[in-house]
Amino acid sequence: MTTQTEPTSSHEALLSGCEKLAHVPNDDIHQIASLLSQMSVQYYQDVRQQAQRSFFSALGAAVVGLIVFIYAAIIGMKPDSNTEVYVSALAGGLIEVISAVNFYLYFRTARQFAAFHTCLERTNRFLMANAMCEHLGERKDEMRAELIRAVATAPLLTLRLLENGEYVEK
C-alpha cells in the first residue's frame, strides 16, 4: 500500500475525496458513505471558516466606523472645525456601510450553512437506515428496496423548501 501525503488545501482534499470515491466498488456502500461524509465535513469546515471571516470582518469594520463617528462627535464639539466634522462623519458612514455589506455577506453564509446542515442530516438518516437494514434478517432486501425508493423520490432540498416548506416540482 502506498502512502499519500495529506492534502494541503480544502480544494485538494475534496479532489482527493472525489478520486477515492471514483475507485470504490459500487457495492461497498459503507466506504462510499464514509467518503461522502468526509467530503461533507470538509465542506462544513469551509463554510464555517467563511462565515467566521465574514463575521469578524464586519465586526472590525463596525468598530472602526464607531471610532470614527465618536471622533467626529468630539471634533464637532469644537466651534471652529466644521469641515473636519463632515469629513469624519462621511468617513464613519462609509465604514458603517461597508460593515453592513459584510454583515449581509455573513447572513448569506449562515443561511447556506443552515441549508448544509439540513442536507447533511437527511443524508445521515438515509445512511443510518441503510445500516439498520443489515440487522433485519429476511426482510433486509425488502426494506432496503423501500429505502432506495425513498432516496430516489425524495424532493430536492432547495432553500425555498427549507425556509418556507414550499416544494416546487420542475
pLDDT at 1: 43
3 pLDDT band, cuts 50/70/90, is very low
The C-alpha cell that represents 80 in the structure block: 471652529
pLDDT at 8: 61
Instruction: Report whether pLDDT(64) > 50.
Output: yes
DSSP 24-88: S-TT-HHHHHHHHHHHHHHHHHHHHHHHHHHHHHHHHHHHHHHHHHHHHHHHHTSTT-HHHHHHH
Instruction: Report whether pLDDT(7) > 80.
Output: no
17 pLDDT band, cuts 50/70/90, is confident
Amino acid 162 reads L
- Mean per-residue pLDDT, 100-118: 78
pLDDT at 165: 62
CA 44 to chain centre: 6
Angstrom distance (rounded) from CA 170 to CA 161: 13
- Output 114 or 19, whichever has higher pLDDT: 19
Angle among Cα 52, 57, 60 to the nearest 5 degrees reads 125
Instruction: Report whether pLDDT(2) > 80.
Output: no
Choice among 37-41, 80-84, 150-154 with the minimum mean pLDDT = 80-84
Q: What are the tens digits of pLDDT across the range 123-167?
A: 777 776 776 777 777 888 888 888 888 877 877 666 666 666 655
pLDDT at 53: 84
Angle among Cα 124, 116, 163 to the nearest 5 degrees reads 110
pLDDT at 42: 81
